[in-house]
């Protein structure tokens, strides 16, 4: 029986992938003005990775990585609130699921402060039982470690969790963790009807 609904953040609850991509590219350009890094390259090779994973992939030295990382977090903290507004659709989904007795969790490659700002800005943070950020784990998605951390921290059975993920890395992470995965293309596919249909299908198998 499914008792817990676990959401990724970017691309599932919050359409922030574009925001994070542009902010990362701006941070790189601020530190390395002559960079040839493009949005196309980011979308093809870096999308859905955490900032630290992106920097490792790009192979910058430690000092450059730290400067870019700090710049990216600075820019995110200053600008993300302007991209977050109360989201009636997300509120109705979260309120509906909690009213039915499900516990809600968020597992994201973002840092905790970003997750909290987003959930608070959308008006749903008080409905979430727990959060796992990239600061809570030694590895990020596509490793299953973020979900293993969730299960350990909140004493959850993976078989009792429905995980909503949009990116290949997130889907891989959730699948390897042993949870039940609802893959979506983007925020537009995250609806109460779709979640309930999946839940009813699980119930019918019992």
pLDDT of residue 198: 95
Name which of 11-15, 81-85, 141-145, 157-161 the model is least confident about: 81-85
| pLDDT (0 to 100) of residue 202 | 83
* Phi and psi at residue 185, to the nearest 5°: -80, -40
pLDDT of residue 50: 83
Q: Which two tokens stand for residue 203?
A: 């119930």
Please name every residue paired with 180 in a beta bridge, in sequence order, or none if there are none: 162
| pLDDT tens sequence across 86-135 | 999 999 999 999 999 999 999 999 999 999 999 999 999 999 999 999 99
On the question of pLDDT at 15 being above 90, the answer is no
Q: State how far the Cα of 197 lies from the Cα of 203, in Å rounded to an integer.
A: 10
Over the stretch 171-205, which tens digit does the pLDDT of each residue have?
A: 999 999 999 999 999 999 999 999 999 999 987 77
Beta carbons of 173 and 85 less than 8 angstroms apart: no
Per-residue pLDDT tens over the stretch 39-59: 999 988 898 788 888 999 999
- pLDDT for 78 equals 84
| Per-residue pLDDT, 47 | 82
Domain 4-15+84-204 has CATH 3.40.50.1000: yes
Could you tell me how far CA 126 lies from the centroid of its own chain? 18
Number of neighbouring beta carbons within 10 Å of residue 44? 9
Q: Are 170 and 48 in contact (CB under 8 A)?
A: yes
**Average model confidence (pLDDT) across the chain:** 93
- The pTM assigned to this predicted structure is 0.86
Helix H or strand E encompassing 162:
strand 161-165
77 has pLDDT over 90: no
Phi, psi dihedral angles at 145 (to 5 degrees): -55, -40
Q: What is the pLDDT of residue 206?
A: 60
């Amino acid at each position: 029986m499914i008792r817990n609904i676990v959401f990724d953040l970017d691309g599932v609850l919050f359409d922030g992938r574009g925001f994070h991509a542009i902010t990362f590219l701006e941070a790189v350009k601020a530190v390395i003005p002559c960079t040839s890094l493009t949005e196309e390259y980011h979308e093809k090779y870096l999308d859905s990775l955490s900032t630290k994973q992106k920097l490792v992939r790009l192979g910058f030295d430690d000092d450059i990585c730290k400067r870019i990382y700090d710049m990216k977090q600075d820019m995110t903290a200053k600008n993300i609130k302007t991209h977050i507004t109360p989201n009636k659709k997300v509120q109705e989904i979260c309120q509906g699921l909690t009213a039915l007795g499900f516990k809600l969790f968020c597992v994201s490659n973002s840092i905790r402060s970003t997750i909290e700002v987003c959930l608070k800005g959308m008006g749903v943070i008080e409905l979430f039982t727990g959060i796992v950020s990239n600061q809570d784990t030694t590895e990020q998605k596509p490793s299953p470690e973020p979900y293993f951390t969730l299960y350990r921290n909140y004493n959850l059975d993976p078989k009792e969790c429905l995980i909503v993920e949009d990116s290949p890395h997130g889907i891989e992470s959730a699948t390897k963790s042993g949870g039940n995965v609802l893959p979506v293309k983007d925020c537009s596919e995250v609806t109460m009807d779709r979640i309930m249909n999946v839940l009813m299908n699980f119930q019918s198998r019992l």
